[in-house]
Amino acid sequence: MSAGRPAFPSLAAVRRGIVGCERCPRLRAHCARVAREKKRAFRDQDYWGRPVPGFGDPRARLLVVGLAPAAHGGNRTGRVFTGDSSGDWLYEALHRFGFASQPHSVSRDDDLRLRDCYVTAAARCAPPQNRPARAELERCGPFLAAEFALLGRVRLVVALGGIAHERFLRAAGWWERLGPRLRPRFAHAAEAPLPDGTVLLSSYHPSRQNTSTGRLTRPMWHAVFRRARALLDGAGAQPRAFAAGTKRAPPRAPRRPRARAPRPPRRPQPSK
Helix (H, G, I), strand (E, B) or coil at 100: strand
The pTM for the full model equals 0.85
Helix boundaries (H) for 71-183: 74-77, 85-96, 134-150, 162-172, 174-182
pLDDT exceeds 50 at position 246: no
- On the question of pLDDT at 191 being above 90, the answer is yes
The conformational region for residue 116 under phi > 0 = left, psi -120 to 50 = alpha, else beta, is: left
More confident residue, 125 or 252: 125
Domain boundaries, the chain: 11-235
Decide: helix, strand or coil at residue 172. Answer: helix
More confident residue, 268 or 21: 21
Higher-pLDDT residue of 235 and 130 is: 130
Per-residue pLDDT at 255: 37
Domain 11-235, what architecture?
Answer: 3-Layer(aba) Sandwich (3.40)
* pLDDT tens-digit readout, 37-89: 999 999 999 999 999 999 999 999 999 999 999 999 999 999 999 999 999 99
What pLDDT, in 10s, does the model give residues 202-216?
A: 999 999 999 999 999
Is there a contact between 55 and 114 (Cβ–Cβ < 8 Å)?
Answer: yes
Going by C-beta distance under 8 Å and a sequence separation of 6 or more, which residues neighbour residue 49?
Answer: 31, 32, 34, 35, 36, 75
Task: Please say if the pLDDT value at position 259 is more than 80.
Answer: no
pLDDT at residue 249, as a whole number = 37
Task: List pLDDT tens digits, range 110-151.
Answer: 999 999 999 999 999 999 999 999 999 999 999 999 999 999
Minimal CA–CA distance to 251: which of 211, 205, 201, 196?
196
